[in-house]
Structure 1
Amino acid sequence: MSSETPSPRAARKDDHVRLASAQQTEGPRRSDFDDLEFVHHALSGTSPETVDLSVDLGDWTWSAPFYVNGMTGGTETTARINRDLALAAAETGLPMACGSMSVALDDAEAAKGFTVIREVNPDGFVMGNLGAGRSADDARRAVELLGADALQIHVNPVQETAMPEGTRDFSEWLDGLAEIVAACPVPVIVKEVGFGLSRRTLGQLAEIGVRFADVSGAGGTDFLRIENDRAGAHDFAMLTGFGQSALACLLDAPDEWTGGGAVSAGVLLASGGVRNPYDVVKALACGARAVGVAGTFLQTVLDHGPDGLIDLVCTWQDQTRALLALLGAQRSTDLAHTDLLTRGRLGEFARLRGIDVVALSHRSEALPSSDELSRRNQQ
């Protein structure tokens, strides 16, 4: 890519990576993931050898219940990051999303920071990414540019509000999303960028035909803080803590998104502050079909390159399989029958939203007993 001074939009990409990385190196932070516990049933486990990590998302089957979520692209620095992420995704079989491709649609030179993903991972599952507010034609162009299997559309009103050059008119986003969903040649995944998709928002998405949504909750990379840091004046620091976590959004999701309704609206994905395989398993137990990881994978690539991320992903796959076995789940969907204890801030959210936390702690009681299963098998 060109070594000339980057455009303001491209420079913003590098700023985002630098500031996101700085957040990752600050050390562990408590999150809603720490407020969710499994009731331990010591004799209910199974063998890791029988655990199947693959997940069925309707349109696709992925080899593991987590993936590389959208991060960056569009500059020399971010092109190298995308290349390393794509190399690791190709080696491990993980699906991968890129960051916002808006800059690539307007600048052929910037497009190289995204097309490198497909160059090094020609057969992998790749997701493009655009922001809400772009046109249906832009969506088609982004899919074609990347040879994308799906297209993430990110909705980021909080970030845009704090961004010095951001928009603050969101009045046409829903109609624009409907046009993109109708015209896009591949499935559309609507995602937030770290502030959560509420029950109401998920209902609106279902009404316009969205079948995949990433709730992308608070607790991970904080784009409000990033934009405040970029602006310098911290005008919107008053919004610190705004939004809901991924687990809160999953627990509050409408029944039609979680399998509790007569008709399924679609598939829920989750991301936002995922630190380890235990967080992945907790999100799966709360209704996510697969879990996106960004900050942890980004920092690993920055520190240790693609080989370091390959090693980490392989470790996560092994540990996720072991955790499922511990919880008696042969597939990730079996986690819907685990007993969950919601404490702290997450528990308070659940109670305020009318979520039956007692029922969550007794979900396994709906399962047939081993004697009942034996009787059924003998019939």
Structure 2
Amino acid sequence: MKWKLSSLIGILAAVCIPLGIAIALLVASPASANSPPPPFMNWFSLTYPSGQTTLQGLQIVDCSTATCEKPVLLIQYGECRDTGCLTSPAIFAQRGDRFDCFDDRCLWLGSALDSFPINAPQQKDEPKKWFRLIGQFADRLRLSAPILKGETTSFPMNGVWQVEVTSDSMQMAQKKGIISYSALSPFQEYSNRMFWSSWLLTILLELLVAWLFLWWRKASQQTLSRTLVAIAMVNLFSYPVVWIFFPSLEPFQSVFSRYFGISSLAIAMLYGLMMHVESKVSSRKLIFDSFIILIGANIIGFFVALCFGYGRWEPIVEGIPYRFTLPASEIFAVVYEAWVIATLSLGQLSFKQAGLLSLLTNATSLLLGVILFSFTSNL
């Protein structure tokens, strides 16, 4: 029996959407109840205003006084060999905690279960404690000033710390009110703040730029309307790849985000292939089919990612820095959108012409994104 693509899309709509809603209602409450508690996460983001230098090792030490005469090594990453480094065994490493660094980010991952001993007596009037960082860099050893624990900071509970590496020391400050379960690059932080509004602005801006370009090229009304529909629809699938898949390849990303990112790429490629088969459908049917595929396939992708990532709080350390994923995502967007636009243009645009149009629209939306990122970062 020969199945038409429209039949498959109908089945996708009839089965996946109600099934996804039903599963979401059934598992939402039990999932949060049965999920293991997240570990404590202390993120350290390093900046180098005095010039980049290679981090070779980092120690977190505990101090009983503000001058830190008798420091105790809590956890260590890499090697610390210069005078001033502690050589005693790391207390929390023996307990199974992890301390990893990649590029300019470090993460101390502590066990939440071990941090709450059930039978431990409650301590009253505990003495004050401080902590500091000892960093082994390629050029020299650097220390941070001791910071008081508990009163003005959340250490050793969850925290995000900004570490400024100067020419001879480290200056550390906690970002207040932030708890993160994955490392966010600057563009991920922007995406978290403006994902939906930026998606809408991207589509509207690219439609405007495309309309001006096609009007200038004196395109026919049929070419103009069909191309604008194709641009709007393809952005429903290319945008999640740019802002979900490529960021999920960066260091310290959760298992869920990585699998969900892969699903967004798979959905985009599936959409492109399906539109290649049904490239001559009417614009109205194209819009309907695109939304059905978008909703149904993402429901499936979400639950696949949930199956693999449920309860796995530990981020994946290895990854590709965003200075590489960002340009790669833009190259993907230009090529992918050119392919789909040329496919859906009913033969009115060649791949070369669609590529020029895609390059123009994506360059404009990227420029808008950089402007918005700079503006929101200063707020």
What TM-score bracket applies, with the shorter chain setting the length?
Answer: under 0.3
TM-score normalized by structure 1? 0.22
Higher relative contact order (CA 8 A, sep 6+): 1
Q: What is the TM-score of this pair, normalised by structure 2?
A: 0.22
In terms of Rg, which structure is larger? 2
